[in-house]
Amino acid sequence: MDLNFTGEELAFRDEVRAFLEANLPTETRRKVLDGLEVSRDETVRWHQILHRQGWGGPNWPRESGGTGWDPVRQYIFEEESAAAGAPRLLPFGLKMVGPVLMRFGNAAQQKQFLPRILSGEDWWAQGYSEPGAGSDLASLKTRAERKDGRYVVNGQKTWITLAHHANWIFCLVRTDPAVKKQAGISFLLIDMKSPGVTVRPITLLDGSHEVNEVWFEDVEVPVENLVGDENSGWTYAKFLLAHERTNIAGVGVSKRELARLKRIAAEEWKDDRPLLADPAFAARVAQVEVELMALEITNLRVLAAEAERRAPGPEASLLKIKGTEIQQALSELMMQARGPQALPLRRGAMSGAYLNLRKTSIYGGSNEIQKNIIAQTILGL
């Protein structure tokens, strides 16, 4: 297996680098590279810049308005974007509901929603988790009753990332409480401006507002916003979760943060020598780097499967487990490298990033659940 880029791929990498250098806003780049929060407007602006270039859907096929890039070009684009300090593209539309609509949505839904995801006009949120239904997602209780050509939705979702920015949310709802829990779930698209939708902030330990509660009180949703068949939402949810877990791996971002860690460790001194010269610290950095290289190869395998229109398999669970463990390990090493300077609890501080990354091994299906999936699908246990 030849892991070297071809001449065409190297030329594409140069094209991406030149585009990023010319078009990535300087202030946005600075914020990302310094680990600071990027605003909603800055994120949307970057989406729009990419859309004008025809790069709004780097992982989408051409027939859906995407680039049609093969897995290697997708990888190059994501790695170069992360290294340059580009904001991470919103996954909720591009890598979650978008692929679901391409696979299971009808023509009218694809025509209505896919172009607006690519352009950044629509900001999507993911309405999955509920109180008491996180890792055991099939226990969700949000109810949707069909009445006269519409669904009436009542219930609560929680830990909904960036829902305060969103104008649409895709939700799992219970449409048949009489059957076993996985069988009575449907997949609905809900306009966040609908009467009865309330977003309540959840303030995190570092004072930031990233996640929310979303309440639905007699919210009316047109039947046309049902994706696929009623009571088949669990199938679509599993398809989406595989894509989400692949995205959580965050290989490009981890490579950028590893380089940042090495810079910091080369500047910080301990016992009259750079911290990176300490054998124990250097060994921990090297271990993370080796694991990240292995994760990168697995990620390419999953991208290759997606290019062949195959849903990610148990490899997605491997990516999720190792990707989140690497992110957490990097944040721990960053804290150690900065020492007391990392402590202030403010947005963008290393302590805030460290605390925020504790969640990565839980959301998208906890790592313990992912290990069960691997045991069942690969080992047959």
Active-site positions?
244
CA atoms within 13 A on the CB side of 165: 22
Helices in 268-348 by DSSP H: which ranges?
A: 279-307, 315-338
d(CA 174, CA 22): 48
Give the residue carrying structure tokens 């009180």: 217
d(CA 122, CA 190): 12
Residues 6+ apart with CB under 8 A from 340: none
d(CA 35, CA 28): 11
> Cα–Cα distances in Å, from 95 out to 24, 157, 220, 283?
22, 20, 27, 35
Residues 6+ apart with CB under 8 A from 296: 251, 255
d(CA 310, CA 303): 10
Q: Would you state the structure tokens that stand for residue 306, as one six-digit string?
A: 């997606």
d(CA 58, CA 69): 7
Of the candidates 151, 203, 149, 208, the one whose C-alpha atom is nearest the C-alpha of residue 176 is: 151
Task: Indicate if the alpha-carbon torsion angle 23, 26, 28, 32 is positive or negative.
Answer: positive
Cα-trace Rg, the chain:
21
Q: Would you state the structure tokens that stand for residue 230, as one six-digit string?
A: 């009623």
Q: Report the interhelical angle of 40-53 vs 107-119 (nearest 10°).
A: 110
d(CA 95, CA 240): 8
Q: Whole-angstrom distance between the N-terminal and C-terminal Cα of the chain?
A: 31
DSSP bridge pairs for 273:
270
